[in-house]
Amino acid sequence: MKKSTKIFIAVFLILVIGIFIHPSKVIYIPKITGKVIDENRNPLKGAIVSRIEELETVNKKWGYFEYTKYRTQTTKTDQNGNFQLEEKSRIEWIHTPLDLPFAYCYGNFEIEKVGYKTYQTKFGEFEQFHKANCYACEKIEFKPIITLKKENKN
């Protein structure tokens, strides 16, 4: 092979790889600012609030994607029952240049307190369609008021 052909192929491969592997896409996870109350509308102090995210892995034996839920960004409610999970971001290195200019933003979390039933959001409970750009949940905030029910002791 000629030297010029090798150089052309090398440059072409670098350009093609550069289209798919570069740190230009930032994914945001929404800010969640809320309040936890009991059934009598009294604020609950010290309830543990955790963001729920999904970890995507590949099953090595069969080759399909598996999704595992895990807790991140844990905080406790203050004396007024208020909590805040800050907006987070991560960089996606591998993506296509054909990414859509809109996204659905989900705010999934879990609340635990001794003596109360654990509350976990259901799929789509806190979601918002975001059309501005492909940064998903940038500058989106959910403000839930969650009522925890007492545990039945039988």
Instruction: Say what the pLDDT of residue 49 is.
Output: 94
What would the mean pLDDT of 91-118 be, rounded to a whole number?
77
Instruction: Say what the pLDDT of residue 17 is.
Output: 73
Per-residue pLDDT of 3-34, as tens digits, reads 888 888 888 888 777 666 666 666 778 889 99
Tell me how crowded residue 144 is: count the other CB atoms within 10 A of its CB. Answer: 17
Per-residue pLDDT of 115-129, as tens digits, reads 999 999 988 788 888
Per-residue pLDDT of 30-50, as tens digits, reads 889 999 999 999 999 999 999
The CA-CA-CA angle for residues 13, 14, 19, to 5°, reads 100
DSSP the chain: --HHHHHHHHHHHHHHHHHHEEEEEEEEE-EEEEEEE-TTS-B-TT-EEEEEEEEEEE-TTT--EEEEEEEEEEEE--TTSEEEE--EEEEEEE--TT--S-EEEE--EEEE-TTBPPEEPPTTSSEEEE-S-SSBSTT-EE--EEEPPBPP--
What would the mean pLDDT of 76-96 be, rounded to a whole number?
81
What letter would DSSP give residue 134? Answer: S
Report the predicted TM-score, pTM, of the whole model to 2 decimal places: 0.69
Instruction: Say what the pLDDT of residue 143 is.
Output: 93
Share of the chain above pLDDT 70, in %: 79
Instruction: Say what the pLDDT of residue 79 is.
Output: 94
